[in-house]
Homo-oligomer: A and B are copies of this chain.
Amino acid sequence: MESASAGTGPHVLRRINVATVLDALRAGGPQRVADLVTATGLSRPAVTRAIETLRAEGWAEDADQGEEPGAGREARIGRPAAVIRFRSGAGHVLGADVGPHKILAMVADLDGKVIAEQRHDTHRLHGGEDVLRALLGITTDVLAEAGVPADRVLSAAIGSPGLVDPTTGAVTLAPSIPGWASLPVAAELRSLLAGPIAVHNDVNLAVLAERWRGTATATEDLVFVQWGARVGAGIMIDGRLLQGANAAAGEIGFLDLAEHPGSDGVTRDTMGPFEHQVGASAIIELALAEAEGQGDTRLTEVMLRARPHDDAAALFDAASAGSALAESIIDQIAARFARGLAAACLLLDPELIVIGGGVSRAGERLLAVVERHLGRRTLVRPRLALSSLGDTAVALGGVRSALDDVERRYLSPAALGAPR
């Protein structure tokens, strides 16, 4: 038989078979050898040999009797055939969200099941050094809670605000946490964790989470817009994150759609023009100005109470409670927001736009107003939806990203190795 390429031989084929069986185990759950023969199209001896290898390497194990497919449903004659399963505890991953408001860290097994999570309020911390210290503490705590030794963390992914170089993990710009951009985050974590540690832009991780377990499981073309104090977007095209040539794609918060542009331009050390227009503080300031201007003391009071917490949701509550002024302010904000969203729609034509972040907690009511304004500014309309993951999206996206890394590193035919 002629060989298809120079690089194929019995050894390579055997590794491919092992990876094929592992894939089938992960996709199909606990199975018997006969099931794996059917699922893979490989011969019985090939499957048996692959299982031996996977067992020896710690990737597969015997399933409990209860997990046997069809167990208890039929009477069996003789000794039942062994049931094998993927060993989801062969290693673990860590996903974490580090932001100006909180740190959230999660530990998950290789099936993506989150087995422990820890949350820490970062409002009161003073700058990047404190935040990094808190991250290291939480990492230790969440691993202890999960009962996972640090050397069993096969990969970790941290979400950070700002611009992050995904190849080096260096945060190059993060105005929302003073002093954070220059810190050796990955290097410090490396003193705790054995596996590779990646730092990503937080919104990019949120996109992965929405696609994996959120509102976007049915599409591979979406834009996730984080709408809170800051405004940022993560873009997925054909199932892949758009990073950009300088890892700076999705910076929708720096769009300049102001009515009177030309004066200042974009500076790297502050919020972007679009954030100044529609971010949580902008919403509160606009509401305050209008309420005071119109002598609406009730709304003024509500917004004064909301101001210290950047709580734009208070405005939406006021609208729900019947304030016509609140309603009209929401309309203004939604119109502004739709202009920025329209830029993303006209350039990218995504199938779905998922809106998350603090402001999105205002819910379907807000979505409807945004949708109405967006319709007047685009040629074709994407579907709009609210994030279903709340403020867990970034950490969960970290878990997904770390799992992807584990798959590339250990679970592909070319790489299969490691655990025990």
- How many copies of this chain sit in the oligomeric assembly? 2
Instruction: Count chain A residues whose beta carbon lies closer than 8 angstroms to a beta carbon of B.
Output: 64
Asked if A247 is an interface residue, CB under 8 A from chain B, the answer is yes
Grouping DSSP codes into helix (H, G, I), strand (E, B) and loop, the A interface class, with mixed when no group exceeds half, is loop
Asked if A382 is an interface residue, CB under 8 A from chain B, the answer is yes
Q: Least Cβ distance of A247 to chain B in Å?
A: 7
Q: Knowing A262-B335, A343-B343 are in contact, say whether A248-B2 is a contact too (CB < 8 A).
A: no
Q: Knowing A335-B262, A348-B244, A379-B268 are in contact, say whether A13-B17 is a contact too (CB < 8 A).
A: no
Q: Knowing A248-B380, A339-B261 are in contact, say whether A255-B346 is a contact too (CB < 8 A).
A: yes
List the B side residues contacting A339 at CB < 8 Å. 256, 261
Q: A46 is contacted by which of B2, B244, B378 (Cβ under 8 Å)?
A: B2
Q: Least Cβ distance of A5 to chain B in Å?
A: 6
Q: A259 is contacted by which of B6, B243, B244, B259 (Cβ under 8 Å)?
A: B259
Closest B residue to A223 by beta carbon equals B347
In contact, A259 and B260 (Cβ under 8 angstroms): yes
List the B side residues contacting A260 at CB < 8 Å. 259
Q: Knowing A260-B259, A347-B252, A349-B244 are in contact, say whether A377-B2 is a contact too (CB < 8 A).
A: no
Measured in the bound complex, the distance between the Cα atoms of B259 and A261 in whole Å is 8
A 62-82 binary contact with B (CB < 8 Å = 1; else 0)? 000000000000000000000
Query: Can you give 7 contacting A-B residue pairs, CB < 8 Å?
Result: A2-B13, A4-B17, A257-B261, A266-B342, A266-B378, A343-B347, A348-B348
